[in-house]
Copies of this chain bind each other. A is one copy, B any other.
Amino acid sequence: MTFEILETAIAKFGHAMLESEEGITEKRRVETNPNKNMARWPIGSSTLQSTAIHPKFIFLPSNVPPVHPSTVLAMSGARNLSAALRRVRVSRPRIALRPALPRTPFATVRSFSVSSPVRADKEIKYTSDAYPNVQRNPNFAELTADDVTYFKELLGSESAVIDGVTSDATDDIEPFNSDWMRKYRGHTRLVLKPKTTEEVSQVLKYCNEKKLAVVPQGGNTGLVGGSIPVFDEIVVNTSRMNNIRSFDQASGVLVADAGVILEVADLYLAERDHLFPLDLGAKGSCHIGGNVSTNAGGLRLLRYGSLHGSVLGLEAVLPDGTIVDALSTLRKNNTGYDLKQLFIGSEGTIGLITGVSIQCPPRPKAVNVAYFGLESFEQVQRAYLEAKGQLSEILSAFELMDGRSQRLVQDSTGTKQPIEGEYPFYCLIETSGSNAEHDMAKLESFLENVMGEGIVADGVLAQDETQFQALWRWREGITEALSHLGGTYKYDVSIPLSELYQLVEDCKQRLTEKGFVGDDDSFPVRAVVGYGHMGDSNLHLNVAVRKYDKEVEKAIEPWVYEWIQKRQGSISAEHGLGIAKREYIGYSQNDTMVKLMKQLKNLYDPNGIMNPYKYI
């Protein structure tokens, strides 16, 4: 038994030997280089190599010749060495990983999407110009000075941002008139920021009576232009409704104003050992009311389910000022139609959500993140099925990123990729569980399997909070990396898993054939990129362009929607319809459904003042 020798060696020199099933049959030297955070291990004629972010942790891909099934060894720091070595004495290659440190998971992951909109120098095109077929509804009244006076008296002048209606208008209204992608821009002259549900009720009642159109707006982080006015609609912004109303430790039920920022809610819950059951890149800016209005899916739907299941109650205001008080905190309540469900995903078209009651799970005690390179989409699918089967109840994310998306992140951040070599596909897998040791054992067994079977070509595992964040950044940073390139045509679609990535290939081929794709500025398209939530069969197809170009758009649409329709997919998996997709709902919903939806819209908003020109 060489445990002591190995332990001493690794502690003193950072070297180690390994032992096969039958005893010590091979001695190999592991070179760790703390400066490079990398280890190399020469084996036979091939050179196995792997990067580990943590210098004391090494793990190696298992493309070892089959004659030596036990020659792959992983070592953790000296503290856990003996445990790691015990695992070597099995016939199949095994990889022993050090359990991740206890930490407050997720909470400190930096938000990306909304920071620093790029090319602020270029003017954003008005939506009304970009969509010339959309005409202002002449039934809507124009805002008057009297209206502004009414609102200022009702809400106080600090709750109104005004531009151009009255002489005292000095505020900068532009941030409320355009989106962070710099894709949509409206003409509003009034932004209202009510502080209470009662104030929202008064505002909407007045607008409904006067036929003033309204756009509800939360953190304005949407991707389909849903929260930006098209013409002169009044923006009703929820940013001043930002109180957490209650939290019950025993049941895990949080009740909060619609304008609470998602990350604020999650940090509040983190202090109470709970987790907001939704997480997404824009968490630092988006409002939970907006999340519910758009039925946001995000990174961990796979684990915590959709908002239709986790939202227990809502408070909302109908256009006529009626306050819908369905803010139940009960997990079960079968007393009549579940009306709150209609507001989830309705994008502010039938009412404005003012309060949310939501079931929050206990915060996982252990969270691990691994990042892989894979040789084909077929291998990605195999890896997903293995993860689903083996990681099962602790699998909290399975994210797909193509090679192009990762090179874009590398170019925009200047960061070195977590693994060496170039792969056509990358995956990020996260586990969240209540027992670090068990989770690590499951993950280890999974890794052993996918690496042993050659499903995964290379990979790394985060060893601490910093690395956890760093790995997630390779997924969450894609949106920002893309935004540096000019503009992006974004398609957020659901497709059966087997064909998920084919859409990217087909789209790229189509645009290339049309001569749109190229590396110099004469080509409108820079890159066709695919990534998304593999676990939800949800792909984000992104066409990065040097500037928005109607010819490119026409080459993509409606072709992309027809492609999806043929596969009975959804043209909007989680981003919603907004103005971007309002015309295309027919590709995912039949005429009967659209008719029934219009009937509902007319029922709740007969004057059509709520978020007009969008949705259906």
Interface positions, chain A 318-351, Cβ under 8 Å from B, are: 322-326, 328-339, 341-342, 344-346, 350
Contact of A337 among B330, B342, B392, B572 (CB under 8 A): B342
Chain A 571-601 per-residue mask, 1 if CB under 8 angstroms from chain B, else 0: 1111111000100010011101110110111
Residue of A306, A342, A575 with most partner-chain B CB within 10 A: A306
The 8 Å CB contact of A438, one of B297, B322, B442, is B442
Chain A interface size band reads 35 or more
Complex Cα distance A295/B434, Å? Answer: 30
Residue of B nearest to A339 (CB): B596
Chain B nearest CB from A606 CB (Å) reads: 12
Would you give the shortest CB distance from A616 to chain B, in whole angstroms?
A: 6
Are A393 and B433 touching (Cβ within 8 A)?
yes
Q: In the complex, are the beta carbons of A338 and B344 less than 8 A apart?
A: yes
Which of A492-500, A504-512, A521-529 contacts the other chain? Answer: A492-500
Q: Are A334 and B600 in contact (CB under 8 A)?
A: no
Known: A250-B385, A328-B570, A603-B603. A336 touches B593 (CB 8 A): yes
Q: Kindly state whether residue A137 has any CB partner on chain B within 8 Å.
A: no
In the assembled complex, A243 has its CB within 8 A of some CB on chain B: no
Interface residues of A in 286-302 (CB under 8 A from B): 294-295, 297, 301
Tell me the complex Cα distance, A381–B250, Å: 9
Q: Contacts A574-B334, A585-B335, A588-B335; is A435 near B434 (CB within 8 Å)?
A: no
Instruction: Answer whether A603 and B599 are a contact pair too, CB < 8 Å, given A295-B334, A332-B494, A334-B574.
Output: yes
Q: In the bound complex, do residue A332 and residue B435 qualify as a contact, i.e. CB atoms below 8 Å apart?
A: no
Residues of chain B within 8 A of A585, CB atoms compared: 335-336
Q: State the Cβ distance, A280 to closest chain B Cβ, in Å.
A: 13
User: Which of A295, A330, A538 counts the most chain B CB atoms within 10 A?
Assistant: A330
CB atoms of B336 and A615 under 8 A apart? yes
For A338, the chain B residues whose CB sits under 8 A away are 295, 308, 341-342, 344-345
Beta-carbon contact of A590 and B325 below 8 Å: yes
- Confirm or deny: A503 has a beta carbon within 8 angstroms of a beta carbon on chain B: no
CB distance from A366 to the nearest CB of B (A): 10
Q: Are A324 and B497 in contact (CB under 8 A)?
A: no
A345 to B342 Cα, complex, angstroms: 14
Chain B residues positioned under 8 Å from A452 (CB to CB): none
> Counting chain B CB atoms within 10 Å of each CB, which of A326, A336, A577 scores highest?
A336
Asked whether A592 lies within 8 Å of B324 as measured between CB atoms, the reply is yes
| Other-chain residue from B342, B350, B385, B592 in contact with A323 (beta carbon distance below 8 A) | B592
B332 and A362: CB pair below 8 A? Answer: no
A305 interfacial contact with B, CB 8 Å: yes
Q: Does A394 contact B (CB under 8 A)?
A: yes
Contacts of A589 in B (CB 8 A): 335-336
Q: Does A466 contact B (CB under 8 A)?
A: no
Complex CA distance for A388 and B250, rounded to whole angstroms: 9
When the two chains form their complex, are residues B362 and A392 in contact, meaning their CB atoms are under 8 A apart? yes
B332 close to A574 (CB less than 8 A): yes
Question: A245 CB to closest chain B CB, in angstroms?
Answer: 14
Closest to A365 in B: B392
**In the complex, residue of chain B having the shortest beta-carbon distance to the beta carbon of A306:** B309
**Contact of A607 with B by CB under 8 A:** no
Q: Which residues of B contact A66 (CB under 8 A)?
A: none
Q: Which residues of B contact A432 (CB under 8 A)?
A: 393
CB distance from A114 to the nearest CB of B (A): 20
**Which B residues lie within 8 Å of A600 (CB)?**
337, 339, 603
* A569 in contact (CB, < 8 A): yes
Does A412 count as interface, using CB distance less than 8 angstroms?
no
Chain B residues near A615: list those with CB within 8 A: 336
Q: Mark A335-379, 1 if CB is under 8 A from B, else 0.
A: 111110110111000100000000000101100000000000000
In the bound complex, what is the Cα–Cα distance between A309 and B359 (angstroms)?
12
**Minimal Cβ-Cβ distance residue in B for A308:** B308
Instruction: For A333, give the chain B residue with the smallest CB separation.
Output: B570
Interface contact A494-B339, CB-CB below 8 Å: no
Say yes or no for A310: interface residue by CB 8 A criterion.
yes
With both beta carbons as reference points, the residue of chain B lying nearest to A337 in the complex is identified as B597
CA of A585 to CA of B306, assembled, Å: 27
Residues of A in contact with B (beta carbons under 8 Å apart):
248, 250-251, 294-295, 297, 301, 305-306, 308-310, 322-326, 328-339, 341-342, 344-346, 350, 362, 364-365, 381, 385, 388-394, 432-435, 438, 441-442, 494, 496-498, 533, 536-538, 568-577, 581, 585, 588-590, 592-594, 596-597, 599-601, 603, 615-616
Q: Contacts A335-B581, A393-B394 given; 13 further ones with Cβ under 8 A?
A: A248-B496, A308-B308, A308-B309, A323-B592, A325-B590, A331-B537, A333-B573, A334-B574, A335-B589, A336-B585, A364-B392, A438-B438, A600-B603
Report 27 cross-chain contacts, Cβ distance below 8 Å, ordered by A residue: A251-B496, A295-B334, A306-B332, A308-B338, A325-B592, A328-B570, A330-B494, A330-B569, A332-B533, A332-B536, A332-B537, A334-B573, A334-B574, A335-B570, A335-B571, A335-B585, A336-B345, A338-B342, A338-B345, A339-B597, A339-B600, A341-B342, A341-B344, A362-B388, A392-B433, A438-B442, A599-B603
Closest 8 CB pairs between A and B?
Answer: A309-B309, A341-B341, A392-B434, A332-B573, A333-B570, A438-B438, A330-B494, A335-B588
